[in-house]
Amino acid sequence: MHELVESWDSSIDGELNESNMRRKLQDRGYRVNRYVYPPGTYFPPHTHDVDKIDGVLAGRFRMTMQGQPVDLVAGDCLVVPRGEVHSAEVIGDEAVVSLDAVKI
């Protein structure tokens, strides 16, 4: 699954901030929404009928896909193909600020 994780590269993408991550995702053909998930938030295993990318701007977001957990931190994005079963949870005491990108 780690090949589905993309980390921010400031030498290519510029400074890590919401505007730059949003632009990067939109340039790839995604519609982007911002969400804030408080500590303790958990999304049980589920699927989507669209291709998605979950990007993290702050906090730690543990996502499990293909039976493998991965902890996303600021600057990480996880590609979630349509129909892929996955779950997510906020780890630690800091809220997760996430950009949720849906392929259009």
pLDDT at 80 over 70: yes
Query: Residue 3: is its pLDDT beyond 90?
Result: no
User: What is the tens place of the pLDDT at every residue in 34-69?
Assistant: 999 999 999 999 999 999 999 999 999 999 998 899
- What pLDDT sits at residue 34? 98
Q: How far apart are CA 100 and CA 53, in angstroms?
A: 6
Q: Mean of the pLDDT values across residues 17-38?
A: 98
Q: Number of structural domains, the chain? A: 1
DSSP-assigned letters across all residues of 72-84: E-TTEEEEE-TT-
Q: What CATH number is associated with residue 56?
A: 2.60.120.10
> Residue length, the chain?
104
Range of the domain at 16: 2-103
Q: Which candidate, 41, 16, 86, places its Cα nearest to that of 78?
A: 86
Global pTM reads 0.93
* Residues near 78 by beta carbon (within 8 Å), at least 6 away in sequence: 4, 5, 6, 53, 54, 63, 65, 70, 72
